[in-house]
Amino acid sequence: MTPSRRATLQWMMSAAMLPLARWSPPAMAAESGAAPPFDIVADWPDTLPEPPPAKGYGRDPDLTKPVAPWPLTLSKAQRTTVDLLGDLILPADERSPGAGTLGVGAFVDEWISAPYPIQRADRAQVLGGLIWLDAQSRAMHGAAFDAITPAQRVELLDALTAAAPAAKMTAPVAFMDTLRYLFVLGFYSLPEGKADMGFIGDQPTPGDYPGPTPEALAHFAEVVDRLGLRES
């Protein structure tokens, strides 16, 4: 673990910090011994193009005019695939639009193009994963991921979210873990995503903090009851 990632994790839950969750990898089930989901599993690409040189925003950026100074690096085709995946991973429903349609693909591009260690590591996973996805799709269906049928995509995404992946699928599943969480982070930090979660906040509330609503308190009383805890 890089120091910065570790430091981030240490602080993530600290009471002093923002409620915004930070990326921490979900536990990868150890070598499950599960059979591979497909007859042929494409190899994970062993080399990736070097990212172009780029600078971070430095230790004293103008916080009133936030900008990410590094260039975006996804190709047009890659971006199309990412947007497509966004609308599959977080699809439109009655509460909010799909993540691809909402433009979260641009956030994914900004993230994996950034010159910082965590983002560089995620870049390798995401770019490697996009290459793998097309290779796997071609091996199975003779066409890139963009060009296969919706049912064929479902089959691939199900394999990429297996609870206990086969040995050959560990890297592709880790890629999908990263990409899924990038979409979660990018989507639910937007106003549309906050509304989807029913988030209430970010609004000045002068006077004493009102605390939980009667409805929230009633729910709390039920929880305490169910857990057999004395209400204090």
Site for other proteins in 69-108 (CB under 8 A): 88-91, 93, 95-96, 107
Which 196-215 residues touch other proteins, going by CB under 8 A? 196-213, 215
Question: b/e for 95-112, b at 16 or more Cβ within 10 A?
Answer: ebbbbbebebbebbbbbb
* Smallest separation (angstroms) from other proteins to the CB of 132: 16
Site string for other proteins, 153-192 (x = CB under 8 A): ----x--xxxx---------x--xx--xx--xxx-xxxx-
Which tokens hold the place of 61? 């950026």
Q: Closest CB to other proteins among 78 and 113? A: 113
Question: b/e for 134-150, b at 16 or more Cβ within 10 A?
Answer: bbbbeebbeeebeebee
Q: How far is 125 from 112, CA to CA, in rounded Å?
A: 9
* Smallest separation (angstroms) from other proteins to the CB of 69: 8
* Smallest separation (angstroms) from other proteins to the CB of 187: 8
Residue 83 · residue 98 · CB < 8 Å: no
Stretch that binds other proteins, among 9-17, 41-49, 133-141, 143-151 (CB under 8 A): 9-17
Q: How far is 151 from 163, CA to CA, in rounded Å?
A: 20
* Smallest separation (angstroms) from other proteins to the CB of 105: 14
Which 24-53 residues touch other proteins, going by CB under 8 A? 24-27
Which tokens hold the place of 51? 């990212």
Which 102-141 residues touch other proteins, going by CB under 8 A? 107, 110-111, 114, 116-119
Q: Closest CB to other proteins among 35 and 227? A: 227
Q: How far is 91 from 160, CA to CA, in rounded Å?
A: 17
Stretch that binds other proteins, among 23-31, 46-54, 127-135, 142-150 (CB under 8 A): 23-31
* Smallest separation (angstroms) from other proteins to the CB of 47: 26
Which tokens hold the place of 13? 């839950």
Residue 98 · residue 63 · CB < 8 Å: no
Q: Closest CB to other proteins among 49 and 201? A: 201
Residue 90 · residue 181 · CB < 8 Å: no
* Smallest separation (angstroms) from other proteins to the CB of 55: 10
Q: How far is 217 from 158, CA to CA, in rounded Å?
A: 39
Q: Is 13 in the site for other proteins (CB under 8 A)?
A: yes
Q: Closest CB to other proteins among 12 and 131? A: 12
